[in-house]
């Protein structure tokens, strides 16, 4: 396994490219199951999670090849409808094949994802929605077994805003008979990107990006070509990197219009963020102001930026309060940040951060994707050396983050554990 070794203190200067969105690529890969023929996808990020969804699709008989960075996905011959435990356990977003399989193949057997480090993360709302559309759902031996004649349109109201729940049911509804209305739907940009992809395939979706999405089912869909939107969470992570190193960077292909809440909070914390088209100049200042944050579904402050923002606040000039409202256990990074000298106290789903002058390098361990990003950011700012083990968590969701940071001047190396 790899680890990252960072010597903190370097200011980040220069340009960095924002890669394609992981959380847009995953549902769009799954959506390719809805049609025969070859879908061509551009700007797909090179991530472990993309390899995993590729394995899940290949296991279903889907043909996938990459040509000069373009992913060609052909689901003409789906030979089986099972997503096995050994794949789903490595990436819960594999559940996104459930909706498309039931819609196109009329059946599916998908391993229950189980919990993960940040929470129980049930999929009850995905299943309730499919049942409302006429699917028969059984839970047997750790698997979801779904069967349906043709799905029928239904009005589905989500108790909780769920991103992949909205995506799964939106995909299923494209081939259902009649109209489906999703109420209290997720409004994330990745949901909109999926809807745009599906509409290019011939689906009839309206309202994506609002809380009410209407889908008029069609008989069949056609393959299409699509460019994945940039990753707003990677972009936000790179902005915080400039903040904690008092750097001055320019982000290329930055989805500014998807980042209002994050940019607002970073400006409140004293950073200068100047968009020019889809480039953004980001300047971190000596004085980081303490800011309170509460995570919310989009367009609120994203939970996927909570850990990174906490690192910035651990170096601010006062007291800040971060409240995590989406997941019940998304403060795993706190213990490791405390080992680097951060002054953070947890009360339930609230973290109280007393900023400190500086953090000190230490040996730490990554536990989940965004927690590992927050430790990298802390290492960039800390005095001395930080070693971050289990970097495979980072590689799930960031395309060569260490290389991008090194190009900006960070003293960061990837080495084999034990070296
Ligand atoms: C998506 O996960 C993202 N993953 C997550 O990003 C992100 O943190 C999350 O949305 C919230 O924005 C992908 O898009 C692949 P949810 P998802 O369903 O869809 C509860 C990352 O770092 N819930 O929106 O699994 C759930 O427990 C990852 O890139 C139910 O109760 O999250 C949670 O409390 C981490 N029942 C809340 O809803 C359900 O059936 C939001 O979860 C579904 C969800």
CA 11 to CA 333: how far, in whole Å?
23
Q: Residue 105 — pLDDT band, cuts 50, 70, 90?
A: very high
State yes or no: is 116 an active-site residue: yes
From CA 237, how far away is CA 398, in angstroms rounded? 10
Q: Which residues contact 82 (CB under 8 A, 6 or more apart)?
A: 59, 60, 108, 109, 110
Instruction: Report the pLDDT averaged over residues 81-98.
Output: 95
pLDDT score at 231: 98
C-alpha of 40 from chain center: 21
DSSP annotation of 144: E
How far is residue 304's CA from residue 310's CA, in Å, rounded to a whole number?
11
Domain residue ranges of the chain, discontinuous segments joined by +: 2-19+230-416, 22-218
Q: What is the dihedral of CA 348, 258, 88, 349, to 10 degrees?
A: 0
Q: Where are the alpha helices (DSSP H) in 219-368?
A: 232-244, 260-268, 306-313, 332-339
Cα(170)–Cα(100) distance, rounded to whole angstroms? 9
Q: Give pLDDT, residue 118.
A: 86
Nearest CA to ligand 1 atom 8: 304
Residue whose CA is closest, atom 41 of ligand 1?
A: 162
> Ligand 1 mean position to 121 CA, how many Å?
7
pLDDT at residue 240 in the model: 98
H helices within 316-357, ranges in order?
332-339
The Cα–Cα gap between 82 and 241 comes to 41
Tokens of 39: 């879908």
Q: What is the mean pLDDT of residues 7-20?
A: 98
Q: How confident is the model at residue 40 (pLDDT cuts 50, 70, 90)?
A: very high
* pTM of the complete model: 0.98
Binned at pLDDT 50, 70 and 90, residue 119 comes out as confident
Which of the four pLDDT bands, split at 50, 70 and 90, describes residue 367? confident
DSSP label at 258? G
Instruction: Provide CATH code, domain 2-19+230-416.
Output: 3.65.10.10
The residue whose C-alpha atom lies closest to atom 21 belonging to ligand 1 is 304
Residue 30 φ then ψ, to 5°: -65, -35
d(CA 76, CA 395): 31
Q: What is the pLDDT of residues 314-335, one digit of tens each?
A: 999 999 999 999 999 999 999 9
Assign 286 a pLDDT band (cuts: 50, 70, 90): confident
Give the residue among 326, 94, 299 at the shortest CA–CA distance from 188. Answer: 299
Percent of the chain with pLDDT over 70: 100
Beta bridge partners of 323: 294, 350
CB–CB of 202/222 below 8 Å? yes
Residue 330, SS3 per DSSP: coil
pLDDT of residue 278: 85
pLDDT confidence band for 213 (50 / 70 / 90): very high
Per-residue confidence band for 5, with pLDDT thresholds at 50, 70 and 90: very high
Residue 125 Cβ < 6 Å to ligand 1: yes
CA–CA distance, 283 with 267 (Å, rounded to integer): 10
Rounded CA separation 401/48 (Å): 13
Domain 22-218: assigned CATH number: 3.65.10.10
> What tens digit of pLDDT does each residue of 138-173 get?
999 999 999 999 999 999 999 999 999 999 999 999
* Interval 69-91 mean pLDDT: 95
Lowest pLDDT segment from 99-108, 339-348, 396-405, 409-418: 409-418
The verdict on the CB of residue 185 being under 6 Å from ligand 1 is: no
Of 188, 326, 398, best ligand 1 pocket probe by most atoms within 8 Å of the beta carbon: 326
> Does ligand 1 come within 6 angstroms of the Cβ of 394?
no
For the chain, the average pLDDT equals 96
Cβ distance 244 to 405 under 8 Å? no
> Which tens digit of pLDDT belongs to each residue from 372-411?
999 999 999 999 999 999 999 999 999 999 999 999 999 9
Structure token pair of residue 321? 């309060």
Given a cut of 80, is residue 114 above it in pLDDT? Answer: no
Closest residue to atom 24 of ligand 1, CA basis? 162
Task: Exactly one of 116, 218, 356, 406 is catalytic; name it.
Answer: 116
Query: What pLDDT, on a 0 to 100 scale, did the predictor assign at position 365?
Result: 93
Helix (H, G, I), strand (E, B) or coil at 193: helix
Q: Looking at residue 250, what is its pLDDT?
A: 98
Do the domains 2-19+230-416 and 22-218 sit in the same CATH topology, yes or no?
yes
- pLDDT at residue 277 tops 90: no
The reply to whether omega before 407 is within 30° of 0 (cis) is no
pLDDT band at 418 (very low <50, low <70, confident <90, very high): confident
């Amino acid at each position: 396994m790899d680890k990252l070794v960072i010597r903190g203190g370097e200011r980040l200067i220069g340009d960095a490219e924002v890669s394609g969105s992981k959380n847009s690529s995953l549902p769009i890969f799954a959506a390719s199951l809805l049609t025969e023929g070859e879908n061509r996808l551009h700007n797909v990020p090179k991530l472990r999670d993309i390899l995993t969804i590729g394995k899940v699709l290949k296991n279903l008989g889907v043909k996938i090849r990459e040509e000069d960075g373009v992913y060609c996905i052909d689901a003409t011959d789906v030979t089986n409808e099972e997503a096995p435990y050994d794949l789903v356990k490595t990436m819960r977003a594999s559940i996104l094949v459930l909706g498309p399989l039931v819609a196109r193949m009329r059946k599916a057997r998908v391993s229950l994802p189980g919990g993960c480090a940040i929470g129980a993360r049930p999929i009850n709302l995905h299943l309730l929605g499919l049942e409302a559309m006429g699917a028969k759902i059984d839970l047997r031996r750790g698997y979801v077994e779904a069967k349906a004649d043709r799905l029928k349109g239904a009005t589905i109201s989500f108790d909780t805003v769920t991103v992949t729940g909205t995506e799964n049911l939106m995909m299923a509804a494209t081939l259902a008979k009649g109209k489906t209305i999703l109420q209290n739907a997720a409004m994330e940009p990745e949901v909109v990107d999926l809807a745009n992809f599906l509409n290019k395939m011939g689906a009839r979706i309206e309202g994506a990006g609002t809380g009410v999405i209407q889908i008029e089912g069609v008989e069949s869909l056609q393959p299409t070509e699509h460019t994945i939107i940039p990753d707003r969470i990677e972009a936000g992570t790179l902005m915080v990197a400039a903040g904690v190193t008092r750097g001055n960077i320019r982000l290329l292909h930055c989805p500014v219009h998807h980042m209002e809440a994050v940019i607002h909070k970073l400006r409140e914390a004293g950073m200068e963020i100047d968009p020019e088209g889809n480039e953004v100049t980001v300047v971190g200042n000596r004085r980081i102001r303490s800011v309170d944050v509460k995570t919310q579904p989009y367009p609120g402050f994203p939970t996927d930026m909570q850990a990174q923002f906490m690192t910035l606040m651990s170096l601010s000039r006062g007291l800040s309060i971060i409240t995590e409202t989406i997941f019940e256990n998304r403060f795993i990074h706190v213990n490791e940040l405390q080992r680097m000298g951060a002054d953070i106290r947890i009360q339930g789903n609230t973290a109280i951060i007393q900023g400190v002058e500086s953090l000190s390098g230490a040996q730490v361990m990554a536990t989940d994707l965004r927690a590992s990003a927050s430790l990298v950011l802390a290492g960039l700012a800390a005095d001395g050396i930080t070693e971050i083990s289990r970097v495979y968590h980072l590689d799930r969701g960031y395309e060569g983050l260490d290389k991008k940071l090194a190009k900006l001047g960070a003293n960061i190396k990837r080495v084999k554990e034990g070296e």
